[in-house]
């Protein structure tokens, strides 16, 4: 691998005798791929191992495993049903570093494409609140799709600047994830384009942007809360030096992540400060099976901002709620609770504990379905948020069933049910169909349908 001269010089200075091993890893080691199990789907790990065989665990993520993407397709019904998420192994360390408790309010500030947001959402298991934000609109749409796939009920997806969110939600969140945009040095092996785009000036400009994002994030963190900061770069200007900036400007401390003892420690001498960086963590490709990564867990020591401002309660009835409740009574075994919001024909179930007025929102909670001319059509997101037992009519198939493949291609199936029915794979909801006269009309999303 041909590395930028100034990058190579800096890394030799940083790693000393380790540099030859580092360079050899970048040049010769394989690019590792991983999957992370969705713990919201009961029994998912057992089914995946039965399907794909025993997989090697990723040491810093209990539910993460190394996997060969050439052997596990994104079109596999388990992936489409949200049983697992493809994720670069090192990236799983960020949320692993953060203590997540039931009923936490969590913000993922730079969330696309959704790996860390879905990881945090699975840990919340529909308790508390998750806000996943992405400033770039098309990436926010991809983020929303991945949230839908993972079946998260309590997640709102926003498309805002960090500054706008900080104005709206001061001292609001218990936990904040900042996986900051960076120079991408850690991805040189995986993304050669990052090599050609690298420059010293770029790492410095990234550092300035990271400071701004973190300034906004700390305004939203409650006293006593935790913020995990991560990058996929080796540059101290974006890692230890950023941590020094935070320690200098905020009443906070860097605490030891309990689950990351197997990783390298950050270095105080790389911070150009006297602040101790021993509790930060680094992933180097010559020491761990993953791409370059940096993690720091901050604990907010501010005692003046511990009380969260409650969202204003709204009692207005939404005209779509009646249509949904009729559907729910007839076809589901569950009674969902939240604030019903109708945007055009799209009905959402918004968590009650947040105000999203004047916030650019892609996903205002769980998308329930479409209300059109007095009819309700349930969404794919609703289907994947449910368990088989929460749906009255189901049609179950094995993962290798030809009938399941026909369904995923958009074809009709024979069905002795009446009305809305969920097609499931090994008991996991995959999509809707509507049955009449012994035929199940296909409602599997068109953009997900198999070509052959």
Nearest alpha-carbon partner for 151 in 323, 366, 325, 1: 366
List Cα–Cα distances, 423 to 60, 411, 430, 442, in angstroms: 35, 12, 6, 10
Q: What is the C-alpha to C-alpha distance for residues 176 and 197, in angstroms, rounded to an integer?
A: 29
Q: Residue 35, SS3?
A: strand
Based on C-alpha coordinates, what's the Rg of the chain? Answer: 23
Sheet of 34-37, strand order: 64-66, 34-37, 84-86
Nearest alpha-carbon partner for 389 in 41, 29, 3: 41
List the catalytic residue out of 155, 232, 243, 383: 232
Neighbours of 251 (CB within 10 A): 12
Q: What is the C-alpha to C-alpha distance for residues 347 and 366, in angstroms, rounded to an integer?
A: 9
Q: Residue 376, SS3?
A: strand
Active-site residue, 232 included:
yes
- Sign of the alpha-carbon dihedral angle for 323, 325, 330, 334: positive
Count H helices, E strands: the chain?
14, 22
Catalytic residues, which ones? 232
């Amino acid at each position: 691998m041909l590395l930028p001269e100034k990058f190579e010089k800096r890394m030799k200075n940083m790693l000393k005798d380790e540099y030859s091993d580092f360079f050899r890893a970048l040049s010769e080691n394989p690019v590792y791929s991983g999957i992370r199990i969705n713990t919201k789907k009961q029994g998912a790990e057992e089914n995946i191992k039965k399907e794909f065989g025993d997989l090697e665990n990723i040491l810093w993520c209990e539910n993460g495993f190394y996997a060969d993407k050439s052997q596990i397709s994104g079109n596999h019904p388990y992936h489409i049903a949200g049983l697992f998420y493809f994720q670069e192994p090192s990236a799983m360390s960020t949320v692993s570093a953060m203590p997540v408790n039931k009923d936490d309010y969590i913000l993922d500030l730079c969330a696309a494409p959704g790996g860390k947001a879905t990881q945090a959402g699975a840990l919340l298991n529909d308790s508390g609140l998750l806000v996943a934000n992405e400033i770039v609109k098309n990436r926010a749409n991809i983020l929303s799709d991945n949230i839908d796939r993972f079946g998260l009920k309590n997640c709102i997806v926003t498309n805002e600047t960090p500054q706008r969110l900080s104005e709206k939600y001061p001292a609001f969140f218990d936990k904040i994830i900042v996986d900051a945009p960076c120079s991408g040095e850690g991805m040189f092996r995986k993304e050669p384009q990052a090599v050609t785009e690298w420059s010293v000036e770029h790492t410095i400009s990234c550092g300035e942007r990271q400071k701004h994002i973190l300034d906004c994030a700390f305004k939203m963190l409650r006293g006593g809360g935790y913020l995990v900061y991560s990058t996929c770069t080796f540059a101290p200007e974006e890692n230890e030096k950023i941590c020094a900036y935070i320690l200098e400007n905020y009443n906070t401390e860097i605490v030891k992540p309990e689950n990351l003892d197997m990783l390298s420690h950050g270095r105080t001498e790389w911070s150009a400060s006297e602040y101790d960086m021993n509790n930060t963590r680094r992933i180097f490709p010559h020491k761990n099976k993953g791409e370059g990564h940096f993690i720091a867990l901050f604990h907010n020591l501010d005692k003046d901002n511990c009380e969260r401002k409650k969202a204003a309660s709204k009692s207005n009835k939404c005209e779509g709620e009646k249509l949904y409740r009729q559907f729910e009574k007839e076809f589901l075994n569950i009674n969902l609770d939240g604030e019903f919001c109708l945007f055009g024909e799209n009905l959402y179930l918004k968590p009650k504990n947040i105000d999203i007025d004047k916030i650019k929102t892609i996903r205002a909670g769980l998308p329930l379905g479409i209300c059109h001319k007095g009819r309700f059509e349930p969404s794919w997101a609703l289907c994947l948020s449910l368990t088989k037992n929460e749906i009255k009519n189901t049609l179950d198939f094995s993962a290798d069933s030809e009938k399941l493949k026909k369904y995923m291609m958009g074809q009709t199936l024979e069905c002795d049910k009446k009305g809305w029915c969920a097609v499931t794979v090994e008991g996991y909801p995959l999509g809707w169909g509507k049955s009449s006269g012994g035929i199940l009309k296909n409602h599997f999303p068109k953009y997900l349908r198999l070509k052959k």
